[in-house]
Amino acid sequence: MPHLPDLDELIQRIREEAERPEYRALQSEPLAPLSTRTAVSAPAPSGLESSKRNSSAASVDDLLLIADPEEFIDQAYQVLLGRPADPAGAAHHRSLLDAGFGRPFVLSTLRASEEGRSAASKLPGFGAAPALFQLGRLGYRLGLGRLARMMNRWYQGWRYRRLLASGRLLTGLRRQEEERSRWIDRAHEQWRQAEQGLTERLERYKQRQEEERQQGLDRFRGLERRLEVQTERQRAQDRALEAAVSDINLLRARLKVLQQRAYPERPVGSASGHRPQDAALVSRLDAYYLAFEEVHRGSEAQVAGDQGIYLSDLANLPDDLLMLPMLDIGCGRGEWLRLLADQGFEAMGVDLNPDAVVRARRQGLDVQQSDALQYLAGLPDESHAAVTGFHVIEHLPFGLLFQLVEQAWRVLAPGGRLIVETPNPENLLVGSHTFYHDFSHRCPVTPTALRFLVGYHGFADIRVWRLHPYPEQDRLIVDTPLAERINGHLYGPQDYALLATKPIAESGERDSATGAAGA
């Protein structure tokens, strides 16, 4: 604990110090224990207005009643110096408050500064604050800074107790609270008005967006309606075109009938046992069947496009077979023969219909008018690379079909291919309805029965391709196992193809066969 001097001696020293010339004109210097001194307040910066707001404080007590320290300092500058507080001065005086010197002490430093003396403010109510300010400065010089802060803090407390006793402190606090409440109310009102303005702008923006969206939707619906009208018009044109094509085909068939009636003596080729023997009737039926094929089989381009899938299979034949001829039985209009010829294969066809034969020959195709079984029987053994038949076997009784497969086995070279396409009775609509559009159809041939038949005759590598399902728009859209089964049975593949290969004999078998032939 520091040694305190005798009180009488201390008072005497204070009187002596107070008589010194430098204390007659007090300078505004910091009382904090710092090695350097800083001016209490600096002149207003250049360009800064001399006063930004006016103060309503009429006495020191009015300043002491200001609750906010920053506002207190600024109001003190306004009253005592006639200007707002500059940043450096405000920070310095705030540090004095934080150090515990009290507000009366801060007011005394501003009044005793050079700028404060020049302003000569007549603010009443300082009381003993200037004397305590002088004692505080002197106490710092004597090493009694702590005692000086305690005296100023005590004096500030005494001033506030006096204000509290007089009721002015509560009145001032109440007035400040009212002002704060009014300020908060004004702020709330401004916020409400701003929020209302933003809400109105947002509603107008949403309304514009909705109007633009509705306009865009109306334009889209207009385009959609025009597209529907155009689509319906196109569909009507397609239907009219299909009707015109059907009429043309019917006229062509009628023309064939008239030609047959005009030239009944035209010779016909040999007929199988199941064909009528009346030459005139046969000719009329041939014309009818050609017309039927034009309408229900599809265009030549469509049929050729469907048959193109078999070309890649024939390309896999052994190299020594690619130079052998290929035979298409029941070649009809010759779409398949044209595909083979375009790929460089040697292709020939056979058909009983003289009109179809004439039409195919006009395209430069090698077609013979003959019974298929008789033609096959006249060919040499192992002389062909492929034997094909598209929608032929469903016209034959089983005895002829049996012999046809038998003869195809004989005619094909080892490694050669048998390709047969026929309606698929696995499709219930085909097996019970569309199959019977053609009066010359006898009965559907199931994939199981045909697979067994060609396997019985020695064919191997037997494959079944299921082809031409109904369009997607005809199928049930419901994604359930039952719907899938219904789609498979009713709207599945309408045709199937069976591809089989005549096996290549092993070397031992070839040697025994060669020896037997030599013997």
Phi, psi dihedrals of residue 257, rounded to the nearest 5°: -60, -45
Distance set, CA 456 to CA 98, 285, 336, 406 (Å) = 114, 35, 27, 10
Give the pLDDT of residue 388. Answer: 97
Query: Half-sphere exposure of residue 375, counting CA atoms within 13 Å on the CB side?
Result: 19
In a domain, 397, yes or no: yes
CA proximity to 142, closest of 2, 263, 261: 2
Q: Is residue 381 part of a domain?
A: yes
306/157 same-domain check? no
pLDDT at 293: 60
Joined tokens for residue 397 = 């009784």
Give me the pLDDT at residue 176, please: 66
| Within-domain flag for 82 | yes
Cβ within 8 Å of residue 68, ≥6 positions away: none
Calculate helix-pair angle for 398-411, 447-456, nearest 10 degrees.
Answer: 50
Is 101 part of a structural domain of the chain? Answer: yes
Q: Give the pLDDT of the chain (519 residues) as one tens digit per residue.
A: 444 445 566 556 555 554 544 334 333 333 343 323 333 333 333 333 333 345 667 777 777 778 788 888 888 888 788 888 899 888 988 888 887 778 888 887 788 788 878 877 777 867 767 777 777 777 677 777 677 777 777 777 787 777 777 766 666 666 666 777 777 888 888 888 888 888 888 888 998 888 898 988 888 888 888 888 888 888 888 888 877 765 675 555 445 545 544 544 443 333 344 455 566 666 666 566 556 565 555 566 777 778 888 988 998 899 889 899 999 999 988 989 999 999 889 999 999 988 889 989 999 999 999 999 999 999 999 999 999 999 999 999 999 999 999 999 999 999 999 999 999 999 888 877 777 777 778 889 999 999 999 999 999 999 999 998 888 766 767 677 776 777 666 777 899 999 999 999 754 444 443 333 333
- Does 26 fall in a domain? yes
Cβ–Cβ under 8 Å, residues 313 and 499: yes
Specify burial of residue 159 (Cβ count, 10 A radius: 0-12, 13-18, 19+).
Answer: buried
CATH number at residue 332: 3.40.50.150
What is each CA distance from 407 to 238, 244, 343, 394, 411, in whole angstroms?
45, 43, 26, 17, 6
Report the C-alpha gap between 71 and 79 in whole angstroms: 12
192 within some domain: no
Nearest by Cα to 384 from 339, 322, 427, 437:
322
Q: Which amino acid is at 129?
A: A
**Per-residue model confidence as pLDDT tens digits over 506-519:** 544 444 433 333 33
User: 41: how many CB neighbours lie within 10 A of its CB?
Assistant: 25
Mean pLDDT (the chain) is 76
Element (H, E) at 302: helix 300-307
b/e map 304-330, b = 16+ CB within 10 Å: bebbeebeebbeebeeebeebebbbbb
CA dist 393 to 23, 292, 329, 438, Å? 136, 18, 10, 13
Asked if 283 and 354 touch (Cβ cutoff 8 Å), the reply is yes
- Name the domain boundary from 133, 166, 199: 166
Owning domain of residue 388:
300-518
Q: How many domains does the chain have?
A: 2
Do the strands 493-501 and 460-469 form a parallel or antiparallel pair, or are they unpaired? Answer: antiparallel
Q: Does residue 118 sit within a domain?
A: yes
Percentage of the chain surpassing pLDDT 70?
70
In this structure, what DSSP letter does residue 505 have?
A: P
Q: 367 and 513: one domain?
A: yes
Indicate the residue among 166, 181, 214 that finishes a domain: 166
Domain end marker among 166, 186, 206: 166
Question: What pLDDT score does 409 carry?
Answer: 97
Residue 376, token pair as written in the block: 């096959």
Report the distance separating Cα 39 and Cα 109, nearest Å.
Answer: 10
Query: Would you say residue 203 lies in a domain?
Result: no
Segment 479-485 long-range contacts (CB within 8 Å, at least 24 positions apart): none
